[in-house]
Structure 1
């Protein structure tokens, strides 16, 4: 009798934990683009994404969706609901599919000038915070990473120092020049 009671309690407790364990969080991803408009009335942001596509995206509604957002990136960003810098070039953090993302936050990248390069990783040094690529023309380029670098990979958006790039990986790097040296602001695993 006592054994049956203990098993029943264990089974009930286990079943009670299932909904908690089954709750998942969406990964936050990122892309770059120019903010065309931010409409607080309709809670949308219109972005000209790098590559030429334009889209109007919903802002995330507080409390409706659970998502996993890197704490450092979150602290460096402005919530989508508060952002209103029309014309800003920025990293846009989103959840959902890239075809119809829901914007979580925006990280303005500053005044520029910015350059974008697609290429193949030839070396990656996490200790020295550098990444080198060869672009389509065969030109070699090396970039520094700093505390503000954002990286987008299979596990979502993370701070650049957490990037794990391997020789041969295809990437797109958005950079500017910091003290005359190219600095990666955004790295996307292609």
Structure 2
């Protein structure tokens, strides 16, 4: 099973801000969320993490000495919009971003680029996840891109999904095609 875990809460997440490559630490609640998930999820054969500290701190609860860092699981680069509240993004930019997967916010990364790197990462983990549980600790955009991969959906479909802090998604990779088993489960 490919078990995708969104990192625990940060102060930016709690305020509803776009938090891309900025790297705020977990809040006390975020640390408790990570430990609680590690206590209830199956012991994985592998733990993979985004390189950002909030994801690595969450992943450490699953495997304190054995976390693999994979750059492909890093959060989308929101460029100049990093740290902004969605309500502060002008309507034209927000509309284009949500309908055009190739749109790149100033200094950032397109949704399509996130989809390409995450689909590659999913394919690379699929055979291991078919034989044992693989936990990936990442961020909202890459995890939603992985769900789109599992469901065979276009990149823009991810805008219609809400993934909670410390939310868990499970993708069964043991069949002919991946199959989404759970989405945004609190664990």
Same fold (TM over 0.5): no
After TM superposition, the score normalised by the length of structure 1 is: 0.28
1 or 2, which has the higher helix percentage? Answer: 2
After TM superposition, the score normalised by the length of structure 2 is: 0.28
1 or 2, which has the higher strand percentage? Answer: 1
Q: Which has the larger radius of gyration?
A: 1
